[in-house]
Amino acid sequence: MRIKSNTSQKISRSVINYIILIVSLAGIILTLTEIYLNLKGTSICKTEGCTVVHIFDIHNTLNYLGIFIFSSIFIFSLLKNQRLLILRSLILSICVIVEGYFIGFQAWYVKEFCHFCLTVAGFIFLLFFLDFLSSKHKTIGLVGITGFISLLISTYLVNMPLISLNLKYPVIIYQKNCPHCKAVIKYAKENQIKINTYEVKKVYPLIKILKFDSIPILIYKVNNNKIFVINGEKEIKDWLKTKIRRKASFIPNSSEILFPFEEGGACRIDQPNCE
């Protein structure tokens, strides 16, 4: 009976390991596809949540990290070395803990979900669950589950919500006492350029995360789902003039362009009165 039981366990672990190989390979293909599309200026995901994620991950670091993780899981599962399988469990537990932050960030801060990110998270959770079933070291998995729940709750408790920007038209971030902001908004209205305006205090967390300390700021999404940012009255007006002349969206070469501004062309956010 014991021989049959051991044989059954080995077969079960072998089947689980085979499924892990398939899922990790699917993860590699999915992530490589996203990297390729990003290089072409597009993405698998078209939601506002994906756009926000691209703002924060401008160097595509998360996708390259995903390739490394899925490739490691695939190789470790293929070799079936016990030490490597323990390392596989450790990597997946760490990934699950980190997903607690990523999911919490989207749920509580951004209040928008990146569908591609959730798909990758689904692959991670599936791999973690399969590994947990076949692993002899359940403690590693329990640490991962506990860490995920703890981090998810922590992101909720330390909540700094971000307002979702309507990027259908150029977004102008302004402050009521900023004459440069008023000049930019007035210029856009006089030339019948459709814009969306947000007072800086309503999007302050986003501005601080993007490390800006002056306004006005223009944020715009071009047709290929890339984001660029312009800071300062003169630079924003120059861009608006280009838009008027071309009667079309201005498309920069890089995923994000930060234009410098001249002294006197912007107001500091923490400055009570700006002249």
Residue 67 has which token pair? 């390739």
If you classify domain 171-268 with CATH, what class do you get? alpha beta
| Residue with the two structure tokens 């930019």 | 184
128-168 pLDDT, tens digit per residue, is 999 999 998 899 999 999 999 999 999 888 766 666 677 78
Task: Report d(CA 37, CA 39) in Å as an integer.
Answer: 5
| Residue with the two structure tokens 């996203």 | 34
Region of poorest pLDDT, from 10-24, 213-227, 248-262? 248-262
Mean of all residue pLDDT scores within the chain: 81
Region of poorest pLDDT, from 8-22, 77-91, 139-153, 235-249? 235-249
Q: Where are the domains of the chain?
A: 2-157, 171-268
User: Count of residues for the chain?
Assistant: 275
Architecture of domain 2-157: Up-down Bundle (1.20)
Cβ neighbours, 10 Å, residue 205: 13
Q: Please, what is the Cα angle at 148 between 28 and 137, to 5 degrees?
A: 75
Q: Please, what is the Cα angle at 69 between 26 and 48, to 5 degrees?
A: 70
Across 32-59, average pLDDT:
77
CA torsion 179→251→47→258, rounded to 10°?
-50
pLDDT for the residue 123: 97
Non-local (6+) Cβ contacts of 27 within 8 A are: 66, 69, 70, 73, 120, 123, 124, 127
Q: Highest-confidence range of 8-17, 84-93, 151-160, 238-247, by mean pLDDT?
A: 84-93
pLDDT for the residue 261: 38
pTM: 0.63
Nearest CA among 220, 221, 254, 218 for reference residue 233 = 218
pLDDT for the residue 228: 79
Cβ neighbours, 10 Å, residue 8: 10
pLDDT value at 69 more than 90: yes
